[in-house]
Structure 1
């Protein structure tokens, strides 16, 4: 009986220590949540450098980043495919925010565009790079049944992967010379967890996420902050969502939230509701996650094919 007393005491302290540890973790998590989603960080602006460069800057999230950075007093370089759209968005930003803009019309499906971009950016003090340009599937599909598969592979890799590496290669040296700068790489929640029927897209966005995390660790001691942004659905043309909802915010709402995480989170969903969604998905058993994801994407695929057949 006497030996049971020390054992009981030991178990008591193990239990007390475990509870204390869990309470401290919960308290820290709540503190971080309030710091990120309640207070945020306003340390983004022209003090990082006069210019911000935004790829895919004429629509959706890219356009909203361009507008938000212009609102904060930064001059903006818009890079996209259509010169007409570039001119329109450039004029809107200049008129609304009274800042200088530049445009570069290139097609990111091509690999021979980066000398042109380098020449156009020469001499600019670039404080922020937003690698936003991206491409997804027309609809969820099995890998071998993707229409024009070889061309789709090339396009997705060129736009979603190559552009991020090449644009970073062009802009990062200037940031290092000044020991300050921010690179925002727009990945996707599809890069956080594998998404079957969007296989190439999901894998390409996972590359962006890993690339960002590695780059941040390599250069954070040199004054460079690299952020991987992993949103769930945002009401954009790319997502084919027209009407914003609480869990599918407008690009403006999303960017207003996401930009406040710069300097606080090197890896972020950018939006509090998306953060909660990510927490749930991360804790689902893997087989349940894949069952839900496959079921959802198969239903989207069936709906698209049925509609296409009618037309």
Structure 2
């Protein structure tokens, strides 16, 4: 075998080994309970309480319920007291666990000293940084966002600052006890620079990078810090799209995502979303960035928004005894 043949043989072997290892690693995602098992007492072994931000609905509410079902008491934080009180009652009645309610608006400034006072001396084993907002429901270019200055401040406060501040409040107790879990909710669209969602996706990139750096710093202290980056979940932010193999109900997504808790510092939370993430990163950006693709995305969301508004108006008209 001459030198050239040896080179190509070695190159081919390296490529086969590389993709073989990747395939083996991916195959573990098919059987998370086998590869990443959690004991029944795992969450209660972390501490007595879980804290969930943005817990009044959607993914946050589902995490609060799921963690309470695992035996943890729960602190739920959001800005709507009426809804939080209702969720707290449902969790308490269903699971028998204690539930504390903290009402705050994370888009505002200087809300964290009060939160810290409420959480002082509580043995917190799990933190779920779930709260987040979209700049605009209808995707649009950055300069087309309404009230752009206010929008920038709200997005940074809610999606970026809140996560860092909540970690600052809760992480010291975890470090002291040498155990804990922090789940920071990102988004699948943060996998690439995403036009029309530029501000939102960029804020979620911060979530991912912050989480990965934090995990590297505190992993040897017995603390698990993971980014959870879902794609389609049927929540208000996604206009409550009908559930299917790609768009999951919040409860189904959370149940699935917790099975990947030991799968690394980032997970898309479910097998179909993991595959979607892989596909998205394989598509050339030039294809995604074409005007026709972006226009189709914008038109699709507008159509769904109009349909949702029409259904809401029809419901109100029916309740009022009128005919549309």
User: TM-score normalised to the size of structure 2?
Assistant: 0.87
Per the alignment, residue 17 of structure 1 pairs with 13
- After TM superposition, the structure 1 = structure 2 runs for residues 1-311 of structure 1, keeping only pairs within 5 Å, are 5-7=1-3, 10=6, 13-14=9-10, 17-18=13-14, 20-22=16-18, 24-36=20-32, 40-43=36-39, 44-136=42-134, 137-291=136-290, 294-300=294-300, 303=303
- Answer yes or no: is the 8 Å Cα contact 1:196–1:293 preserved in 2: no
When structure 1 is superposed on structure 2, of 87-96 and 191-200 the one drifting more is 191-200
Residue ranges of structure 2 left out of the alignment (5+ in a row): 314-324
Question: CA 1:265–1:296 in 2, change beyond 3 Å: closer, same or farther?
Answer: farther
Structure 2 residue matching 1:254: 3-state secondary structure: helix
8 Å CA contact 1:49–1:126 kept in 2: the answer is yes
TM-superposed deviation, 1:122: 0.8
CA distance in 2, matches of 1:101, 1:6: 72
Q: State the alpha-carbon separation in 2 of the partners of residues 257 and 30 from structure 1.
A: 16
SS at structure 2 position matched to 1:45: helix
Query: How high is the TM-score relative to the length of structure 1?
Result: 0.91
1:31 shift after superposition: 4.1
Q: 1:123-176: per-residue Cα shift (whole Å, max 9, x none)?
A: 110000000011012211121111121111111111111110111110000000
Matches of 2:223 and 2:203 in 1, distance apart? 23
- Report the number of matched residues: 307
Asked if structure 2 preserves the Cα contact closer than 8 Å seen for 1:141 and 1:301, the reply is: no
| Per-residue Cα deviation, 1:260-296 (whole angstroms, up to 9, x for no partner) | 1112221010011010011011111121132375244
The question of whether the paired residues in 1 share the 8 Å contact of 2:227 and 2:265 is answered with yes
2:320 maps to: none
